[in-house]
Structure 1
Amino acid sequence: MNYFDDKNVNLEALKKKAFNLRWAEVGDGIIPLTAADMDFPCAPSIKKALLDYVDEGYFSYTPKLGLKEFNQSFANYVKNKKNEIIKEKNILAVDSAARAMFIIAKAFLKEGDEMIVFDPCDFLFREACISAGATPISYPAVLDVKNKRMDLSRLEDYINENTKMIGLCNPHNPYGLVYSEEELDYIMRLCEKHDLLIMNDEIWSDIIYPDAEFKSIYCLGNKRCNRVLSVFGFSKSFGLAGLRIGCVYTNDDEKFTRLIDASEVMSTAGGATSLSQVAAIAAMDKTEEWMKAFIAHITKNRDFAVAYIQKEIPLLMAYKPQATFLLYVDITKTNMSGEAFVAYLREKVKLSIVPGGHQYFGDESEGHVRICLATSEGILKEGLSRLKKGVEMLCEERGLKNE
């Protein structure tokens, strides 16, 4: 069965349900290749698990620390997928990976502390730090495009006596890079030298292209990873953003206790719903075939989009991602800000994408945009055709050359 044919995108449903810059929030006729959320329904096995649970008609309280089955499934899942050996008892289901990041910050940062946040990177690292009263310190993540590596050579220069934590987004959003074992070891050695914690976000670790290999920081061994506080979520890989389900985990018992305290699950003010955990369990246990098909589909979309921009829109430059279903695109030759470029496309060709800049990815992302590839082949081709048309119109208006 092909789960990802064009016919499997239900635009009528998406226009009612898909928010956060997507179909339900854009005007008629606009194609939104925006927020990191897929245009396809979830795997049939997830839908069945939810329907079976709902059929009994009971929506009782869950255990404060989450369903035991969730922890069992997660421990097995990360062991099989990423060779991570995580204690079942040190996994906490919460309402999204974003919440997990805020819990880590609340538990381990305070006013006067600093956290190093790569720039560009997802804004939630910065916002989690700020929410705890601490100060985010941006590290310019300069990219070596040829070797697909970030320059980490100056990272230690950003560490001082107030630094308490480094944010690690692996795979990286928006570049779509995976870190090598050598890079992870270098970051860990800095943290060991300066006694720093690591906020480790692996929400994209399922979406790895066939020409890349994901290495988790846990490949360095659990003994070294007691300073690692990790988050995972099910919105990207499995299309469950609306169920708000993620988890936070660490192999250090004392640190896990602090995470529980910060999460407020013991007072029942925090936690994840029963339905969300049931869906996540099915996602981890019963979607292997569906996930393989999704990776094949998204690989085809990635390869087409990168080649199309290179050939048809050479004024722009697309980074070929190793992971994620996101395409990060350099628009600096247009001489426009990300916001202005995005507004132009929305008005002129009815295409909506995400701008770079401080709000979403940090100041270093200015002059870039991000495009979501998790849609049908037909929608993606039409979206890129509109992008080409918009750039051609811009070139004509401003005397630029599409080269």
Structure 2
Amino acid sequence: MFQNNSIDFDLLKKRAYNLRWATVPQGVIPLTAADPDFKSAPEIAEAISKFAKDRYFCYTPPEGLPEFKESIATYFQERRNVPVQPEFAFPVDSAAFGIYLTCKAFLSIGDEAIIFDPVDFLFRYSIENVGGKAIPFAIPAGTHDLDFTELEKLITKRTKMICLCNPLNPTGKVFTKGELTKLGEIACKYNLIILSDEIWSDIIFKPAVFTSIASINEQIRNQTITITGFSKSYGLAGLRIGAVIAHNQNHFNLLMDVSLHNSTVHGATVLSQVAATAALNECGYYLDNFVTHLTKIRSLIVTELNSIPGFNCVAPEGCYVAFTNITKTNKTSQEIYELLLKEAKVAVVPGLKQWFGEGAEGHIRMSFASSEEVIMEAMNRIKTVIK
């Protein structure tokens, strides 16, 4: 299922956009956007096909299909130890929109929200697009102990939210239960909303253990909005489906009001909800096998990267991205990106502020959700250029 011969490269070159196979020049290996090269589980396609054969594509309830809401609640109750009520979970057209929606619901013009640095650009983008200000809290790759004193110093009268990305893209850090407890206590102390992006939470490498911050206690849970998606775990990026979970009625009402779902201006498609429901209910075996494969590839790519002069990669605890320090090459992230693209025919993501914040400079990020053959070919190409 996760072998090189199971990848249809011809189809990827036609369909895989967003910096991937369909957008790079011929012959370039894209280790860019974090989407898998592998096909989704067959049960997902079968569920979509079965639904489509009836030829009725009606509106769903504004708050989502009941079976989708039940599958989300069951998943979080059984695998995350979070007592989610189905009525408080609803589909959105991506986890990215879930982040924006939460910012829109809880931030006003001039409000501040703390984000990690480095972190995916969508947090800053969402905060700034609703008129807020993103305040960075540095968590460099390899950080084991967070300085919560420094975090607390960032809180002002304008602070309304802490944005938690766990596991942390791009460094792959998985936060410990102790760290999350302390972060949650700070949020409660200052009455801050915790925006918890957990889209990567299925991609965890032992011995790391994922903890959902909403599982810690009721007080912290009531400050939390949980966001998840299905692109990283099940390859459903193009179906644009995620979920937003409130943990009390007031938060749910506010999120639904600003979502525009009730007006039919916005919402997740019926087929995407059918697909996500099938993923959660029937495709656990697929995810388990995927993580087993990724564990092997993580070991391979980290070893290879650390054998390249001037490269240093801390093995990620979660996420299938390798965040590599390239400062000892005496080149910038942009220069390494351009060199690898031109000379090695390998596309990576440079550690620029526009992608991950200022803390990403001196790094490049590579997705390794592909076959062993693809990753080894990419590493061999890089080694011919970086000597």
TM-score (norm 1): 0.94
Out of 174, 177, 181, the residue aligned to residue 181 of structure 1 is: 177
Q: CA deviation at 1:9?
A: 0.8
Structure 2 contact 309–329 (Cα < 8 Å) conserved? no
In the alignment, which residue of structure 1 is the partner of 2:90?
92
Structure 2 contact 215–221 (Cα < 8 Å) conserved? no
- 3-state secondary structure, aligned to 1:104: helix
The amino acid across from 1:9 in the alignment is I
The amino acid across from 2:223 in the alignment is R
Structure 2 contact 213–220 (Cα < 8 Å) conserved? no
For 2:302 and 2:182, locate their aligned partners in 1 and report how far apart those are by CA, in whole Å: 31
Q: CA deviation at 1:349?
A: 1.1
Q: Quick one: structure 1 residues 255 and 329, their matched pair in 2 at CA, closer, same or farther if it must change by over 3 Å?
A: same
Structure 1 contact 355–369 (Cα < 8 Å) conserved? yes
Q: Deviations over 1:50-85 (max 9, x none)?
A: 111111112111111110000000111112221111
Q: CA deviation at 1:153?
A: 3.6
In the alignment, which residue of structure 1 is the partner of 2:284?
288
Out of 2, 13, 21, the residue aligned to residue 15 of structure 1 is: 13
Out of 144, 168, 171, the residue aligned to residue 172 of structure 1 is: 168
For 1:238 and 1:322, locate their aligned partners in 2 and report how far apart those are by CA, in whole Å: 19
The amino acid across from 1:29 in the alignment is G
For 1:45 and 1:282, locate their aligned partners in 2 and report how far apart those are by CA, in whole Å: 7
Q: Which runs of 4+ in 1 moved over 6 A?
A: none
Q: Deviations over 1:116-139 (max 9, x none)?
A: 111101111111101111111111
Q: CA deviation at 1:172?
A: 0.7
In the alignment, which residue of structure 2 is the partner of 1:321?
316
Q: CA deviation at 1:375?
A: 0.4
Structure 1 regions of 5+ residues with no counterpart? 393-403
Q: Deviations over 1:205-262 (max 9, x none)?
A: 0111132111110231133311111110111111000000001111111011000011
Q: Quick one: structure 1 residues 200 and 13, their matched pair in 2 at CA, closer, same or farther if it must change by over 3 Å?
A: same
In the alignment, which residue of structure 2 is the partner of 1:386?
381
In the alignment, which residue of structure 2 is the partner of 1:229?
225
Q: CA deviation at 1:152?
A: 3.6
Q: CA deviation at 1:182?
A: 1.1
The answer to whether residue 33 in structure 2 is matched with residue 38 in structure 1 is no
The answer to whether residue 359 in structure 2 is matched with residue 361 in structure 1 is no
- 3-state secondary structure, aligned to 2:194: strand
In the alignment, which residue of structure 2 is the partner of 1:333?
328
In the alignment, which residue of structure 2 is the partner of 1:242?
238
Structure 1 contact 167–200 (Cα < 8 Å) conserved? yes
In the alignment, which residue of structure 2 is the partner of 1:57?
55
Aligned-pair identity (%)? 41
The answer to whether residue 160 in structure 2 is matched with residue 160 in structure 1 is no
Structure 2 contact 181–216 (Cα < 8 Å) conserved? yes
The answer to whether residue 211 in structure 2 is matched with residue 215 in structure 1 is yes
Out of 200, 206, 211, the residue aligned to residue 196 of structure 2 is: 200
Q: Deviations over 1:278-324 (max 9, x none)?
A: 000000001111111101100000011111222x2142011101111
Structure 1 contact 227–252 (Cα < 8 Å) conserved? no
Q: Quick one: structure 1 residues 151 and 381, their matched pair in 2 at CA, closer, same or farther if it must change by over 3 Å?
A: farther
The answer to whether residue 375 in structure 2 is matched with residue 377 in structure 1 is no
In the alignment, which residue of structure 1 is the partner of 2:109?
111
For 1:96 and 1:261, locate their aligned partners in 2 and report how far apart those are by CA, in whole Å: 18
Structure 2 contact 349–365 (Cα < 8 Å) conserved? yes
Out of 335, 338, 344, the residue aligned to residue 349 of structure 1 is: 344
Structure 2 regions of 5+ residues with no counterpart? none
For 1:340 and 1:346, locate their aligned partners in 2 and report how far apart those are by CA, in whole Å: 10
RMSD: 1.1
Structure 2 contact 32–349 (Cα < 8 Å) conserved? yes
Structure 1 contact 115–129 (Cα < 8 Å) conserved? yes
For 2:190 and 2:49, locate their aligned partners in 1 and report how far apart those are by CA, in whole Å: 50
Structure 1 contact 346–352 (Cα < 8 Å) conserved? yes
Structure 1 contact 181–219 (Cα < 8 Å) conserved? no
Structure 1 contact 95–271 (Cα < 8 Å) conserved? yes
For 2:274 and 2:170, locate their aligned partners in 1 and report how far apart those are by CA, in whole Å: 30
Q: Quick one: structure 1 residues 150 and 301, their matched pair in 2 at CA, closer, same or farther if it must change by over 3 Å?
A: farther
Q: 216-225 or 78-87: which moved more?
A: 216-225
The amino acid across from 2:336 in the alignment is F
TM-score (norm 2): 0.98
In the alignment, which residue of structure 2 is the partner of 1:303?
299
Q: CA deviation at 1:269?
A: 0.8
In the alignment, which residue of structure 2 is the partner of 1:129?
127
Q: CA deviation at 1:37?
A: 0.2
The amino acid across from 1:343 in the alignment is E
Aligned length: 387
Q: Deviations over 1:4-31 (max 9, x none)?
A: 0111111100001001110000001000
Q: CA deviation at 1:374?
A: 0.3
For 2:283 and 2:109, locate their aligned partners in 1 and report how far apart those are by CA, in whole Å: 43
Q: CA deviation at 1:45?
A: 0.8
Out of 52, 66, 69, the residue aligned to residue 68 of structure 1 is: 66
Structure 1 contact 141–152 (Cα < 8 Å) conserved? no
- 3-state secondary structure, aligned to 2:218: coil
For 1:98 and 1:253, locate their aligned partners in 2 and report how far apart those are by CA, in whole Å: 23
In the alignment, which residue of structure 2 is the partner of 1:401?
none
